[in-house]
Structure 1
Amino acid sequence: MAAAPPPAPRTALPPPNRGGLAFAQGRYGLRGNLELLLCDEEDGLWVLWFNNDPEDTAPEAGGPPPGAWSGALRFGTGRRYDEVQVVQSAHGPHHLEVLARSGAHTHRLRWNPETAFTTEEPPPTGRVRAASLTENPDATLWTAVLADDGSPRLFRADTGAYPRLTWEQTPLPPLRPGAVLLLPLPHAARPGLALLGASGGSYLAPGGDETPLPAGLVAAAVVRETVPRLYVWNEAAERIDVVDIGAPAPYRSLRAPGEGPVTALAATTLDHAPHRTDLVLRRGGRLWHVSDQGGEEPARSVPLLSRLTRTAGDEERPVHRTS
């Protein structure tokens, strides 16, 4: 007798979301699941994870199968956020560090396996327009912001008493961009800094060298080995410009799935796939999961959808839940 087919999975679109996205490869799973953070339309943040295990791996009961997204968990309630950043930190060890902006104020949250998400003292940024967070390969945490007057400011954390952090401001030249991104670089005194603007931007290397960047305020950044890579939404050309700083062929482009303007973009490298970069973008109000293979191979794009294995008695359980 043939075995009965497995029950159909439980599926759902992500919760309604707005503002920025945060995306990183984490430490959990056989080869590092992907962590995605969203700003809720009204209150708090959401976190989802992508099961990055090999295809023939059995999923945990009620969780997403390999190659699928989990349901979302809401946290950080009590305020409406505009922007969010996440890094998988070496500290804790392996806690998630979250920097979120609500209006002109930054907020720090931390995930750990004992108490889940907790609120921590934020960096002393003052009032800001934009904020970015990264951790260099030497485990140094950095925050960059655009102050109310539009000037960039860079802060380095002393992690000696982690999870309590002490921040020190690092001088920057007087530049006036419209958005800011940090890029973690190996063997460098500080991260690279991408300064973005509607009419063009620049990449500021740790040594002070500047490289021009295409125009755009919606962007994401990764580092491939030692090469900084920027993904910048080009609204006029309806494409994503890809810039590999210092590479022999530094410029190419990706076609963005969906229709309308891209309103948020985030990216991460993958440890098990050395040439692949995964992106999540919002376009036309919908989230897409994009895999950039590099070179001439076209990117693969699928709508982002939570897909959970069905277990007995879970019919009434929501796909998305509040902690």
Structure 2
Amino acid sequence: MHSEPQTVGALRTTVGAAATIQGVYGTRGNLELLACDERDGLWVFWFNSDAPGSAPSGGVQPGRWSEGLAFARGMRFVQAQILQSALGPEHLEVLALDARGTLQSWYWAPEAGFRRRATDVGQGVRRFAAEHDDGVLRVVVDADSISTHVSDATGYPVRSWRQRAATPWERASLELGAHAHETLLRAGVDEREITPGTARSARSTRDGGTDELTWRGTDGVLRHVGVPWGA
């Protein structure tokens, strides 16, 4: 196992699966993790990926997670995803599905923090999956039907959305977590300690290439472990 499992946000009342990406801060690229609060808003946590012995960054020791930042208060969310943006530069993109079925679009900029955009991605949404490529966001949405909503970088940070039919690969992207669950089992995590449906994975370049695995334990606590690529 690449690293020992760590709890994330143990003092926060988060629910469901978390979403993780590799960010751009620090010498190795930090990790950003997004989770839904149990009742109100979202939590973002970040992991200091710098080498052991490096100075703390933002009050967080190397190899440790932050205590978390709350935002989007006043709404309850059921699914959220965070992506590193190529724009800004160093901005973050957030897609967040609220309990009413509205898929909201947010972004983070160093000078402004998290801001919700005026235009939502869709209504009546049950689940979604998103990817970011050179400023273009593609969001696969499961609502009355499965479709893909695309936004290019025109007018950024404002985004508008055009809808088209989802490809078979895009439809498959909605089935989240199978790879992560299998990798956790190979890494020695007891299946009885994984809340079903909460395993997620993201790839980072730290330490030569790492699968960043997150899951919610049966005790309700989020956990993270890094596993070498191919392990």
Give the TM-score band, short-chain normalised. 0.7 to 0.9
Select the residue among 203, 217, 220 that pairs with 1:283.
Answer: 217
Aligned residue for 1:193, secondary structure, equals: helix
Measured after TM superposition, the shift of residue 124 of structure 1 is: 3.8
Could you tell me which residue of structure 1 aligns to residue 227 of structure 2? 292
Going from structure 1 to structure 2, the CA distance change for 1:265 and 1:132 (only over 3 Å counts) comes to same
Select the residue among 228, 231, 235 that pairs with 2:179.
Answer: 231
Contact 1:262 1:283 in 2 (8 A): no
Contact 2:138 2:150 in 1 (8 A): yes
Matched, 1:168 2:101: no
User: After superposition, where does 1:47-196 map in structure 2 within 5 Å?
Assistant: 47-60=44-57, 63-103=59-99, 104-136=101-133, 138-147=134-143, 149=144, 151-172=145-166, 192-193=169-170, 195=172
Going from structure 1 to structure 2, the CA distance change for 1:16 and 1:263 (only over 3 Å counts) comes to farther
Please tell me the residue identity of whatever aligns with 1:154.
T
Going from structure 1 to structure 2, the CA distance change for 1:261 and 1:167 (only over 3 Å counts) comes to same
Contact 2:48 2:65 in 1 (8 A): yes
Distance 2:139 2:127 in 1: 11
Identity %: 33
CA displacement, residues 163-221 of structure 1 (integer Å, 9 cap, x when unaligned):
11121112236x7xxxxxxxxxxxxxxxx525279xxxxxxxxxxxxxxxxxxx6x34x
Distance 1:264 1:122 in 2: 29
Could you tell me which residue of structure 1 aligns to residue 201 of structure 2? 267
Measured after TM superposition, the shift of residue 37 of structure 1 is: 0.9
With structure 1 as the length reference, what TM-score do the two structures score? 0.62
Q: Which one has the largest radius of gyration?
A: 1
Contact 2:193 2:217 in 1 (8 A): yes
Measured after TM superposition, the shift of residue 292 of structure 1 is: 2.1
Measured after TM superposition, the shift of residue 123 of structure 1 is: 4.0
Going from structure 1 to structure 2, the CA distance change for 1:172 and 1:193 (only over 3 Å counts) comes to closer
CA displacement, residues 115-136 of structure 1 (integer Å, 9 cap, x when unaligned):
1111113444231110122102
What is the aligned length? Answer: 220
Could you tell me which residue of structure 1 aligns to residue 39 of structure 2? 42
Going from structure 1 to structure 2, the CA distance change for 1:12 and 1:44 (only over 3 Å counts) comes to closer
Distance 1:39 1:21 in 2: 8
RMSD between aligned residues: 2.5
Distance 1:65 1:194 in 2: 40
Contact 2:212 2:227 in 1 (8 A): yes
Where does structure 2 lack aligned partners over 5 or more consecutive residues?
Answer: 1-7
Distance 1:108 1:77 in 2: 15
With structure 2 as the length reference, what TM-score do the two structures score? 0.85
Could you tell me which residue of structure 2 aligns to residue 241 of structure 1? 182
Tell me: higher relative CO, structure 1 or 2? Use CA pairs within 8 A at least 6 residues apart. Answer: 2
Contact 1:14 1:72 in 2 (8 A): no
Please tell me the residue identity of whatever aligns with 1:290.
V
Going from structure 1 to structure 2, the CA distance change for 1:101 and 1:170 (only over 3 Å counts) comes to same
Distance 2:28 2:195 in 1: 33
Higher mean displacement: 138-147 or 26-35: 138-147
Distance 1:268 1:260 in 2: 17
Where does structure 1 lack aligned partners over 5 or more consecutive residues?
Answer: 1-10, 176-191, 198-216, 221-229, 233-239, 243-251, 298-323
Contact 2:13 2:38 in 1 (8 A): yes
The structure carrying a bigger helix percent of its residues is 2
